[in-house]
Amino acid sequence: MGQPVLPGLEAIARERGITFGSAVQSTPLLSNSEYAAAMRREAGALVPEWEGKWEALQPTEGAFTTAPLDAILAWGKANGRMVRGHALVWHKSLPEWAETALGEGPHRALSIMETHIRTVLRHTRAQIRDWDVVNEVIADPAGSDTPQEGDSAYRDSPFFRALGPRYIDEALRMSRRADPLLRLTLNEYGIEEDTPAAAEKRRRLLELVRDLLSRGVPLDAVGIQGHLQLAKPFRPEPLTALITALRQAGLSVLITELDIREGRDAPQDLRARDALVAERAYAFVSTALQAGVRSVFTWGLSDKFSWLTHDPDVALTDSRTHRGLPLDEHFRRNAMWDALARAFAGR
């Protein structure tokens, strides 16, 4: 007799018409049975953590490498999981050749964007029906962790330097032309918490999407990433107001990359740490659901495969590991799992 099979988060969410999904990495998905089993059990939808980025798909100009993304798509198909795309136009994970080409004048910039978007969307069209077309396009205001100098509302990126703000219009229009029924999503971070910097970033985001819509630029959804930090205050009201305003503008709103980062002052006791993470996860997700969000993705399932564990810019410095995902590094369900289950079940 094995362990009784408890329903996963995807089944609990699905009961109430909510999609729960996770970022996925192709390598462990194919080689680590524990990882694959957790994905199968918990995630009703997938988003590639790396495999859909420019550097992964077109590391050399004209040479598209889709095998890692195709592996995720094949797994998704075999397991009946929907896959969303991430990310067509982003200032990071951009190969050097593309960064150089973007600096060679607007004509060349538009041409490489068009080729990339058209080729990728043609390839994924049968299976990916929602893409993060533009990712992280708003500048981080003063008071952010990494503020941008000056008062531009737009992030200073190779795309922005090549074309100005219209690169956002162009990316969205090119995507619509390449795949007319695709859901076009603008994905952003730093807009979740109750800080002056986040309030300013929310203001910039609303101004941008209203401007895009008023000019007839195609846009269907906004992804709120949800990389939360316990060191920052959270209150439901600002998040509710943001989601409500976006929905009133006619957009869908998704939570796309939820995970929770502890501060350096995290308590020593594991249970105490987990309780704080769980409390924040519950407050954030239940607020989003109440405001009308119907899709929630975490940025991975287990701490073992989380950027919070492996990226030196965000990892804890004292030999401890973040516990910001619903499964711990041994794939055991933790208090955040319970919190998500409760939020999805509406308890």
- Of the two residues 50 and 154, which places its CB atom closer to ligand 9MR in the complex? 50
The minimum distance between CB 155 and ligand 9MR, in angstroms, equals 13
Per-residue three-class SS string for 96-114: HHHHHHHCCCHHHHHHHHH
- Of the two residues 102 and 258, which places its CB atom closer to ligand 9MR in the complex? 258
The minimum distance between CB 326 and ligand 9MR, in angstroms, equals 16
- Compute the distance between CA of residue 208 and CA of residue 139 in angstroms, rounded to an integer: 12
Question: Is 297 among the residues that bind ligand 9MR (CB under 6 A)?
Answer: no
Question: Is 309 among the residues that bind ligand 9MR (CB under 6 A)?
Answer: no
Residue nearest to ligand 9MR (CB): 307
- Of the two residues 110 and 306, which places its CB atom closer to ligand 9MR in the complex? 306
Question: Is 192 among the residues that bind ligand 9MR (CB under 6 A)?
Answer: no
Whole-number Cα distances in Å, 53 to 90, 93, 167, 263, 266:
8, 6, 17, 29, 33
Task: Return the residue of 32, 65, 66, 93 that touches ligand 9MR, per CB under 6 A.
Answer: 93
Per-residue three-class SS string for 166-204: HHHHHHHHHHHHHCCCCEEEEEECCCCCCCHHHHHHHHH
- Of the two residues 12 and 190, which places its CB atom closer to ligand 9MR in the complex? 190
Task: Return the residue of 10, 49, 170, 262 that touches ligand 9MR, per CB under 6 A.
Answer: 49
Tokens of 220: 């269907």
- Of the two residues 80 and 312, which places its CB atom closer to ligand 9MR in the complex? 312
Question: Is 322 among the residues that bind ligand 9MR (CB under 6 A)?
Answer: no
Tokens of 63: 């040479």
- Of the two residues 12 and 281, which places its CB atom closer to ligand 9MR in the complex? 281
Question: Is 50 among the residues that bind ligand 9MR (CB under 6 A)?
Answer: yes
- Compute the distance between CA of residue 217 and CA of residue 251 in angstroms, rounded to an integer: 13
- Compute the distance between CA of residue 159 and CA of residue 311 in angstroms, rounded to an integer: 25
Question: What is the CB neighbour count within 10 angstroms for residue 100?
Answer: 13
The minimum distance between CB 16 and ligand 9MR, in angstroms, equals 27
Question: Is 307 among the residues that bind ligand 9MR (CB under 6 A)?
Answer: yes
Task: Write the burial class of residue 245 (CB in 10 Å: 0-12 exposed, 13-18 middle, 19+ buried).
Answer: middle
Task: Return the residue of 6, 15, 27, 92 that touches ligand 9MR, per CB under 6 A.
Answer: 92
Contact 46, 83 (CB under 8 A): yes
The minimum distance between CB 329 and ligand 9MR, in angstroms, equals 16
**Got the DSSP string for 204-264?**
HHHHHHHHHHHTT----EEEE--EEETTS---HHHHHHHHHHHHHTT-EEEEEEEEEEPPT
Fill in the DSSP letter of residue 302: B
Mask of contacts with ligand 9MR, 220-239, x by CB under 6 A?
A: -----x--------------
Residues within the interface to ligand 9MR (CB under 6 A): 49-50, 53, 92-93, 189, 225, 257, 307
